[in-house]
Amino acid sequence: MLAHQVELFLLCADPRTREVRRFLVGPRGCEITGLAWSPDGKAMWANIQHPGISYPASDGKSRPRSTTVLISKIDGGVIGS
């Protein structure tokens, strides 16, 4: 059984097409919390808490740390458009 291999992820859905896609995957053992958006919808922040691996270093030696991730589109547009 893969009880310790659970991944936490966020899904997004298009209400018109009903298509559901994976938007964000956190490191093993984490909680994704504190989602926030900029007023113009062009930036989104997500907090990663209690990661079970050495995140964000991912070197296997560093102490796991909580962090805040900034998400934006390459073209600078509104997220989800």
Where does residue 81 rank: exposed (0-12), middle (13-18), buried (19+ CB within 10 A)? exposed
- Quick check: is 2 in a domain? no
Q: Answer whether residue 20 is part of any domain.
A: no
9: confidence class by pLDDT, cuts 50, 70, 90: confident
Evaluate if residue 4 carries a pLDDT over 70. no
Q: Structurally, how many domains does the chain consist of?
A: 1
The first and second tokens of residue 10, run together, are: 């966020």
Q: Which residues form the domain of 75?
A: 29-81
Q: How is 18-53 classified by DSSP, letter by letter?
A: --EEEEEEPPTT-EEEEEEE-TTSS-EEEEEES-SS
Q: What is the pLDDT of residues 28-75, one digit of tens each?
A: 788 888 899 999 999 999 998 877 776 667 677 777 788 899 999 999
Model confidence band, residue 1 (pLDDT cutoffs 50, 70, 90): very low
